[in-house]
Amino acid sequence: MQRCEETIAPWLKSGYSRGLKAYEIDESLIEVDYGTWSGRKLSSLSREKMWKVIQDKPSTVQFPEGERIKAMQKRALGSIMRALEDKKNGTHLFVSHGDVLKAVVASLLKIKLDDFQSLVIDPASVTVIDFDGSKSRLLAFNDTHSPIAPMTKMEKSTKMLLGGGARKSRATKR
């Protein structure tokens, strides 16, 4: 969680966060418990027999003395669902680690957990999903350049998006 806090700290100190009423640190969003794999270099881990399974069928993996990838996905999704229960409408910001975010995005977009490795989420990137508790729409993915504020003010719609899905912003005229 320390790396996540360090990543979001500059934003929290900026004027961009002035609409933030509160935040909490949710242990359900911590990194995967990699067990005995923690702290080892990827170059070393990639030579392990289990590496291919992690890449091809991660839903079956439990790290030695660590966590199942499927269990990590379930706990992270639980955090999102609890946030929606607390505040159904509005914008929620979740900060976590790449594998956790990829597993959540995969689930919300109905991508099989075994295919989550095809997603790339870079450090300090932003992914925006319009989610009503059952249906999801991807508005931005792995973005490191676009301002996100306009996306959080977009009109929410329960209708299917057609022809690219252009939506109006809820910003008021001046």
pTM of the model: 0.78
Closest to 63 (Cα-Cα) out of 95, 37, 44, 26: 37
Rounded to an integer, the average pLDDT of 109-122 is 94
* Residue, of 86 and 111, whose pLDDT is higher: 111
Q: Which two tokens stand for residue 23?
A: 């935040």
Domain 2-11+19-148 fold is: Rossmann fold (3.40.50)
Rounded to an integer, the average pLDDT of 132-159 is 72
User: So where are the chain's domains?
Assistant: 2-11+19-148
User: By the 8 A CB rule, do 32 and 99 touch?
Assistant: yes
Position 169 scores a pLDDT of 45
Alpha-carbon distances of 138 from 105, 109, 153, rounded to whole Å: 9, 8, 15
